[in-house]
Amino acid sequence: MITITDLEKYYATEEVRTIALNKLSFKVNEGEFVAIMGPSGCGKSTLLNILGLLDDPDGGSFVFNGIEVAGFNERKRADLRKHNIGFVFQSFNLIDELTVFENVELPLIYTGVKPAERKERVDAVLEKMQIMHRRKHFPQQLSGGQQQRVAVARAVINNPKLILADEPTGNLDSSNGNEVMDLLTELNETGTTIIMVTHSEHDAKYSHRIIRMLDGQKVTENVLSEYISK
């Protein structure tokens, strides 16, 4: 589903050029659950932004679903993004002025789904995430775990092929964190590809494969034992 080859990304200020990604290559197959780990500043988030089509690489190739997307302009990326990719962030990134229902509904609005269908689909997802009773509440009225569930609901509302999760449990306590990880696992089991950046070895264990990074490069890649057979 995703093939990156020799991917490069630099950040330049007036005086220094920092290499964030240094000829990074790997593949992610459809239906996989991949965890990306590494110390702060190793390029995890940069990678995730490029994979999420929020940013453009400076070199190398990025094939998404058989299409070379490196060099796509903002509008093309946005178009591809809104139909195929869902995001879950550490800080949830819910819009404070919108209710739970409206936050989840937002991607459907931008993909042009009719109101009646929107309501149906949002209700279904909220039901599934067990936050239906909170649909009229505003984000700040919810607990962290609930907020992240809303964010996950928003990420899956468009039935994306890929979900990118950036430290999804970073702001949560362990029980809420486990709940969210279970949610992601469930989604993965129904066929959604998941790429997750995390610091937590615990969370990484939910994945099939761990890619470890350092200084913009892949250092190791190990498939977790229970999936070796698959």
Site residues, another protein (CB under 8 A): 49, 52, 54-55, 74-75, 78-79, 81-83, 87, 93-98, 102, 105-107, 109-111, 154
β-pair partners for 213: 218
CB of 1 to another protein, least distance (A): 20
When the beta carbons of 83 and 128 are compared against another protein, the nearer one is 83
| Number of Cβ within a 10 Å radius of residue 108 | 20
The percent helix, strand, coil of the chain (3-state, each to 5) is 40, 30, 35
- Paired sense of beta strands 33-37 and 193-197, if any: parallel
CB of 142 to another protein, least distance (A): 16
When the beta carbons of 19 and 78 are compared against another protein, the nearer one is 78
CB of 57 to another protein, least distance (A): 13
CB of 9 to another protein, least distance (A): 12
CB of 220 to another protein, least distance (A): 28
Region for residue 23 given its phi and psi (left: phi exceeds 0; alpha: psi -120 to 50; beta: otherwise): left
CA 184 remoteness from chain centre: 10
Cα–Cα distance for residue pair 230/225, rounded to 1 Å = 10
When the beta carbons of 38 and 160 are compared against another protein, the nearer one is 160
When the beta carbons of 111 and 174 are compared against another protein, the nearer one is 111
Largest Cα span, the chain: 54
When the beta carbons of 61 and 93 are compared against another protein, the nearer one is 93
